[in-house]
Amino acid sequence: MLKKGAELLVGKSNNTVIFNDETLNSGVKNTKTVIASGSEPLKATISWIDPEYEPNYQFVSDVYNNRSSKLINDLDLRIIDLTTNTIYYPWKLDANSPLTPATKADNTVDNVEQVVIDAPVAGRSYRIEITNKGTLVDEAGSSAPQSYSIMVTGQTQSSLGTSDVATDNGIIVAPTLTKDFVKVLKAPKKSVFNVYDLSGKKLQSGTINNNEESIDLTPYIKGIYIIEVKTARETISKKVIKE
């Protein structure tokens, strides 16, 4: 176990392992494109601290041997082969037959999900997608984003994390550490951008009409904000920090 942990830390330092904290907003798809090394399986694992489930103690059936899902925020992890469009699903156990080997399907019961591609094609692009079912909420039941951690191994190109430049499918958000403005670069014209705070509140929106679009964050307090860019094909989200 210690050896594996050390290997992951070494891999992180040479960009063969991605490990980062991310934030998901309700109905917003987080996408990350990676290049498979081909020398090992491509694995993506997400985990999150789910809001506490409150059982109904008036009904014995709700607290005794009840195998229905207790997830409050159900996040979904997928990996898509961008050449064949094959969708890879996470591991899933059968709650009614726990000794049966796990299969790969939509996991609706665990707050840890892992997708594994045993034999990815070296040099091929794969898109990691994180979405959610329903509406994300906090412990009080109010609408709120969900934080999660993601770890990816078996890739050669890192596109996750907060750095000076964040990019996804050619779209660049820079810088991700700013005191005033951030710029969206290389987004298709007529794309839409939105700015959210960590409560999920939309603060600003607009249409991208230029190859370089500036977003003014000066009216907002210091903190973390989500820049969402919607194109005709997909939606990407980037985390920026206002100093």
Question: Which pLDDT value is given to residue 161?
Answer: 37
Q: Nearest 5°: CA angle at 23, between 75 and 162?
A: 135
Domain ranges in the chain?
2-153, 166-242
* 193 beta partners: 206, 229
Residues present in the chain in total? 243
Question: Which pLDDT value is given to residue 162?
Answer: 35
What is the per-residue pLDDT across 169-200, written as a single tens digit (0 to 9) for each?
678 888 888 899 999 998 998 999 988 887 66
Q: Is the dihedral of CA 169, 170, 175, 180 positive or negative?
A: negative
5: pLDDT strictly greater than 60: no
Q: Which of 29-33, 128-132, 154-158 has the lowest mean pLDDT?
A: 154-158
Q: What percent of the chain has pLDDT over 70?
A: 79
- 10 pLDDT band, cuts 50/70/90, is very low
- The average pLDDT across 106-124 equals 92
Q: Quick one: fold of 2-153?
A: Jelly Rolls (2.60.120)
For 109-233, list the strands marked E by DSSP: 112-117, 125-132, 146-153, 166-168, 171-174, 177-178, 181-185, 191-197, 202-208, 212-216, 223-230
Question: Which pLDDT value is given to residue 224?
Answer: 82
pLDDT, mean over the chain: 82
What is the per-residue pLDDT across 75-84, written as a single tens digit (0 to 9) for each?
999 999 999 9
- 12 pLDDT band, cuts 50/70/90, is very low
Question: Which pLDDT value is given to residue 230?
Answer: 86
Question: Which pLDDT value is given to residue 241?
Answer: 87
Q: What is the rounded CA–CA span in Å between residue 225 and residue 160?
A: 16
CATH placement of domain 166-242? 2.60.40.1930
Residue 165, by phi and psi: left (phi above 0), alpha (psi -120 to 50) or beta?
A: beta
What does the DSSP 8-state code read for residue 143? Answer: B
Tell me which residue has tokens 């059936």.
Answer: 61
Distances (CA, A) of 14 to 72, 126, 158, 161: 36, 20, 10, 15
- 129 pLDDT band, cuts 50/70/90, is very high
Question: Which pLDDT value is given to residue 60?
Answer: 61
